[in-house]
Structure 1
């Protein structure tokens, strides 16, 4: 009996795509930075050296360098050689800043989601801050509180000082990721702040609660600080609304 020919196995594979030269140069430079061959502060090899090293033309090198610069990975200065930046959480969040604002504008319900995240994040942040704060942190918070008091007749200045106060609470945590995330989140929220014609004493309440938060941190009272923060944000939530609301 004649044997049937073996059937070919069905294998799903992605098609091979041809990469742009600039993308390949970008990938090589990225690998050098990730591996530590090029560290923070190091000078990037000149365009001519990169052209010779990768066997590509000047346009491919320049496009790759511009792509790295747009991501905040390197700094290109006119008349000077490019240098590798020290990567931080702030640089990383700056890359999603415009997309985050677009996301909030496109879907109004995301603003409520962001406010929910803020409550979770800041209530946890003040717990850490109560344990880690320094005397310098307390002085900084009191200085910001005084600044906010001086802005009572200036709504925009009052809210800007409010943002700086909450950012300083994150600074007191000693966690650089919390600091960067909190500042980015507050910046996004400020885009949606709608000042009310009559605050009915809201400014005074805000100042009182900020004073109490400082006192909780001074006493290293993590539970008290977290409970007050939740109440504080529950009260301020209505001040941030979508233009579609």
Structure 2
């Protein structure tokens, strides 16, 4: 992921319209600072403007700025050096799974393309979990997965219900895998992305039918006890589903 580079971080703040104090909260200050960093308005290696300048820009007290910078430091986005100032950290140091960080990155997907990266990571995690289910599934597991797919079929003409049935199918596969860490990461990524309309995109009129076909291939591979096919089927499904619904970067 490439980020634009800012030559003068102070200019980002000094040229902007000051906000009224009553309209700014510490949470919003943190969000705005995170946005400036993830979009490259203030680039890695640069120093944030002094505390007083930030306080004037956001229309808040120095105490709010101080606390906001601490939150940034906890997220791995800045390093505070005694007598040196607050330096923006490289993106490799960021806590990407932090709610504010990943949500703000997704808000700026038009330029960052973070949702493309999210689809890749999610497909790898869920494909591994599907392979684990194919290896270790029990007759009871198979019955639950079949019923989950059938619930999707019953909801295929109901746009209010089908997305939840789709989500339930994925959640069931992840739970049956026994990989709690992979499940937690995958679910966190999807939950954060689901708040942004670009994640849902414009899937097209055939999306539900194609999704059912792809899920059926996952089930077939799990029933056959073939981890390689189960892994490939889930990876292909997540990749294709994202390609079907993704919007152009400039949309």
SS of 1:234's partner is helix
Q: Is the 8 A contact 2:153 2:212 kept in 1?
A: yes
Unmatched tracts of structure 2, length 5 or more: 1-94
Deviations 1:203-226 (A, max 9, x none): 222112212211211221011112
* TM-score, normalisation: structure 2: 0.53
Aligned to 1:158: 162
2:240 alignment partner, one of 204, 224, 235: 235
Aligned to 2:149: 145
Unmatched tracts of structure 1, length 5 or more: 1-92
* Cα separation, partners in 2 of 1:167 and 1:222, compared to 1, 3 Å: same
Deviations 1:165-186 (A, max 9, x none): 1111111111111222222222
1:132 alignment partner, one of 127, 130, 136: 136
User: Distance between the aligned counterparts of 2:224 and 2:104, measured in 1?
Assistant: 41
Aligned to 2:223: 218
SS of 1:186's partner is helix
Q: Is the 8 A contact 1:167 1:182 kept in 2?
A: no
Aligned to 1:180: 184
Deviations 1:138-187 (A, max 9, x none): 22222221221122222242122112211111111111112222222222
Aligned to 1:204: 209
Aligned to 2:127: 123
* TM-score, normalisation: structure 1: 0.54
User: Distance between the aligned counterparts of 1:194 and 1:141, measured in 2?
Assistant: 27
Given the alignment of the two structures, is residue 106 of structure 1 paired with residue 108 of structure 2, yes or no? yes
* Bigger-Rg structure (1/2): 1
SS of 2:107's partner is helix
Q: Is the 8 A contact 1:128 1:222 kept in 2?
A: yes
Paired residues in the alignment total: 150
User: Distance between the aligned counterparts of 2:237 and 2:174, measured in 1?
Assistant: 16
User: Distance between the aligned counterparts of 2:143 and 2:237, measured in 1?
Assistant: 21
